Amino acid sequence: MKKFNFNAGPSILPREVIEETAKGVLDFNGIGLSILEISHRSKDFQPVLDEAVALFKELLNIPEGYSVLFLGGGASMQFCMIPYNFLDKKAAYLNTGTWANKALKEAKNFGEVVEVASSKDKTFSYIPKDFVIPTDADYFHITTNNTIYGTEIRKDIDSPVPLIADMSSDIFSRPVDVSKYTCIYGGAQKNLAPSGVTFVIVKDDALGKVSRTIPTMLDYRTHIEGGSMFNTPPVLPIYSAMLTLRWIKANGGVTEMQRRALERAELLYGEIDRNRMFKGTAAVEDRSLMNIDFVMADEYKELEADFMAYAVSKGMVGIKGHRSVGGFRASCYNALPLEAVQALVDCMKEFEKNN
Task: Select which of 99, 138, 203, 286 is catalytic.
Answer: 99
Q: Hey, is 126 helix, strand or coil?
A: coil
What is the C-alpha to C-alpha distance for residues 119 and 252, in angstroms, rounded to an integer?
A: 35
90 labelled catalytic: no
Long-range CB contacts (< 8 A, 24+ apart) of 192-195? 192/241, 192/244, 192/245, 193/13, 193/237, 193/238, 193/240, 193/241, 193/244, 194/10, 194/13, 194/21, 194/236, 194/237, 194/240, 195/9, 195/10, 195/74, 195/237
Distance CA 64, CA 90 (A): 28
Catalytic-residue membership of 166:
yes
Q: Tell me the CA end-to-end span of the chain in Å, nearest whole number.
A: 24
Among 138, 166, 286, 293, the active-site one is 166
For this structure, is 44 an active site residue? no
The one catalytic residue in 138, 170, 190, 286 is 190
Give dist(CA 133, CA 139) in Å, integer: 9
Give the contacts of 217 (CB within 8 A, at least 6 positions apart). 230, 231
CA dist., res. 93 & res. 119, Å (int): 12
Cα–Cα dist 149/93, whole Å? 18
Catalytic residue numbers, as ranges? 99, 166, 190
